[in-house]
Amino acid sequence: MPECSVVQKSWSELTLEELYCFVKLRTDVFFVEQRIDEEELDNRDQEPTTEHLWTADATGTAAYLRVLFDAEASHLDANLCLGRVVVRADRRGEGLAQVLLARVMEQHGHESMLLHSQEYIAPLYAKFGFESFGESYIEAGIPHISMYRAGH
């Protein structure tokens, strides 16, 4: 995995430039590249319990993910949900998503977590202890699978 610094902030700590950079990355990949036509700005970013994690370089945000907290567990005992995991096209294959996931595991590995993975990337999450459950489904026109990781 590459050496890079991870930035982690809540909504109230974000600068306008930071917000712009990671929203641009998310829209570049999810809307332009993957042609997802579902709502990207779902109001979950600005919740006080949402954690935004990213790495940046001179071009902007290189990789990003967010951690959502739900008071009601959405599957078994998982109150945390990882989402919007994205890596800029020119930085893919460098392990940046793994760097972000490792940080989440350092901080929240004792808690149960849930995520909805595009099927092709599920092996990445399996490396971090996530196990798929249920049937695969189409979300935003792309095959997905739900994954759960018990707290340790």
Angle ∠(7,8,11) on CA atoms, nearest 5? 125
Question: What pLDDT score was predicted for residue 37?
Answer: 61
The tens digit of pLDDT for each residue in 26-64 reads: 888 776 666 566 655 677 899 999 999 999 999 999 999
Tokens of 38: 């579902």
pLDDT at residue 3, rounded to an integer:
56
Domain 7-149 has CATH 3.40.630.30: yes
Mean pLDDT of the chain: 90
The domain ranges of the chain are 7-149
At 2 the pLDDT is 52
pLDDT of 34 reads 60
Say how many Å lie between the first and final Cα of the chain, rounded: 23
Dihedral of alpha carbons 129, 77, 137, 97, sign:
negative
* Per-residue confidence (pLDDT) for residue 1, from 0 to 100: 47
Residues of the chain predicted below pLDDT 50: 1
Is this structure's pTM higher than 0.75?
yes
What string of DSSP letters covers the chain? ----PPEEE-GGG--HHHHHHHHHHHHIIIIIIS---S-S--S-TTSTT-EEEEEEETTEEEEEEEEEE-SS-SBTTB-EEEEEEEE-GGGTTSSHHHHHHHHHHHHHTTS-EEEEEEGGGHHHHHTTT-EEEEEEEEETTEEEEEEEE---
